[in-house]
Amino acid sequence: MGTRGRRRAGSPDARQAILEAARAAFARDGYNASLRGIARAAGVDPALVHHYFPERSHLFVEAVYDGPDGPVMDPAVLDDVRRLPASRQGTALVRLFVTQWDRMGADRFAAVVRAALAHEGVVARIRELVVGALVTPLVERVAPDRVRLRSQLIAGHLVGLGMTRWIARLDAVSAASPEELAAAVGPVIQHYLTGDLGDAHDGPAEEAGAFKTVEEPRE
């Protein structure tokens, strides 16, 4: 990147060049990597970095999520899931999550979680971009009720799955193929998408087999 000429603000790939430079800088220098150095490596004016990413946390989250095949944050990555019947989206979402992060790498998953623990701005940006802009819109198309709780339970379960596979590396979860995890975890995500979440004060959730799902939710 550093050898190219300086990009103008309107350059279509300036934003992408900033993300690529940022990804390398954050991986090398951590969360407090120099924004000026990132601009220089991307061949852009430092003001342009600020223009696209008003906060360091915005740049960090998008850079870590930015994949070799384009930004993972793009809601389009969920199109394949959205096109399925509602009753099959749980399994598809698990398969997508596992294959995507398997490809992106355990280190990047750990980097996101580590930064989220250390910087409130990173947590806030993940809340906005991952839960708010990716998971919630998927859920609200099919859920019968309680969209926020469902979205947050799904996001939390996927993060927890990632913690066991890419950070704690628990053996059975780590050894499982994406398909095996989709089969084991998919029905759970499906339950959070379209199932009956129960009621704190009556008993249906207490008994095994009471795992009711709502028939053919709207799509």
**Which residues form the interface with a second copy (CB under 8 A)?**
86-88, 90-91, 110, 113-114, 116-118, 123, 126-127, 131, 146, 148-149, 151-153, 155-161, 163-165, 167-173, 176-177, 179-180, 182-188, 190-192, 194-195, 197-201, 205-211, 213-215
Return the axis-axis angle of helices 89-104 and 147-162, rounded to nearest 10°.
Answer: 40
Burial of 171 (0-12, 13-18, 19+ CB in 10 A): exposed
Q: Could you give the angle at the alpha carbon of 138 between the alpha carbons of 74 and 88, nearest 5°?
A: 115
User: What is the rounded radius of gyration, in angstroms, for the C-alpha atoms of the chain?
Assistant: 20
* Least distance to a second copy, CB of residue 192, Å: 8
E strand or H helix at 167: none
Choice between 17 and 126, CB closer to a second copy: 126
Q: Are 194 and 213 in contact (CB under 8 A)?
A: yes
Choice between 10 and 209, CB closer to a second copy: 209
Choice between 28 and 201, CB closer to a second copy: 201
Choice between 40 and 141, CB closer to a second copy: 141
Alpha-carbon distance of 150 to 197, in angstroms, equals 8
Alpha-carbon distance of 217 to 219, in angstroms, equals 6
* Least distance to a second copy, CB of residue 127, Å: 6
* Least distance to a second copy, CB of residue 13, Å: 32
* Least distance to a second copy, CB of residue 218, Å: 13
